[in-house]
Amino acid sequence: MQEMSDIHDIKPLFNIGIDPLIFLYVALFFIILAVIAVLYFFLKKRRKAKKNETPPMSPYEMALKLLSEIENLDDIREFYFRLSLILRAYIEAKFQINAIEMTTEELSPKILDLNIDKNLKTYLKELLYSSDYIKFAKYTTDKTKMNSDLNFVKEFVTKT
């Protein structure tokens, strides 16, 4: 049998000057450093978000705050648009009725079903209808009526 001459033995490994274990330790160090940096920024962002969170206001508090903002409005239509929106938002939050999305005609039967004083129901319906005339039919009213309606909404929010 003849010996093969085209196959050569594998040369032994030679040292290139870098210990593979050191390379592994350096890579592991940078990976740990990157994980620590990501955790630090994540926790910092989370802590900042918690500081900026304010507890949500109750429907009562929110309504009174918004009502106090419109007390000095002189534009009648703007006043009634905002008064109606505040009232509807309060009804929606307090009684779980989708009042903001409903027309006054759709909301009227729902108001009758509320478990509140009959006088409040009656005046509430009247207020919603009269505010629609002012908002959409360009009816006008005086400052006394505006104050009266504002006081009723405050009373409604307080009593419910």
Instruction: Quote the domain boundaries for residue 124.
Output: 59-159
In the predicted model, is pLDDT for residue 1 greater than 60?
no
Is 64 a domain residue?
yes
Helix (H, G, I), strand (E, B) or coil at 98: coil
CA atoms of 110 and 58, how far apart (whole Å): 22
Place of tokens 């940096």: 37
Q: How confident is the model at residue 13 (pLDDT cuts 50, 70, 90)?
A: confident
> Are the C-beta atoms of 99 and 88 separated by less than 8 Å?
yes
Q: Is 129 a member of any domain?
A: yes
pLDDT of residue 107: 92
Quote the mean pLDDT of the chain: 87
Lowest mean pLDDT among 14-23, 84-93, 148-157: 14-23
Q: Per the domain annotation, does 36 fall within a domain?
A: no
Any alpha helices (H) in the chain, and if so which ranges?
Answer: 20-52, 59-69, 76-95, 104-112, 118-136, 143-159
For residues 137 and 51, which has the higher predicted lDDT (pLDDT)? 137
User: Is residue 14 in some structural domain?
Assistant: no
Read off the tokens for 96: 């779980």
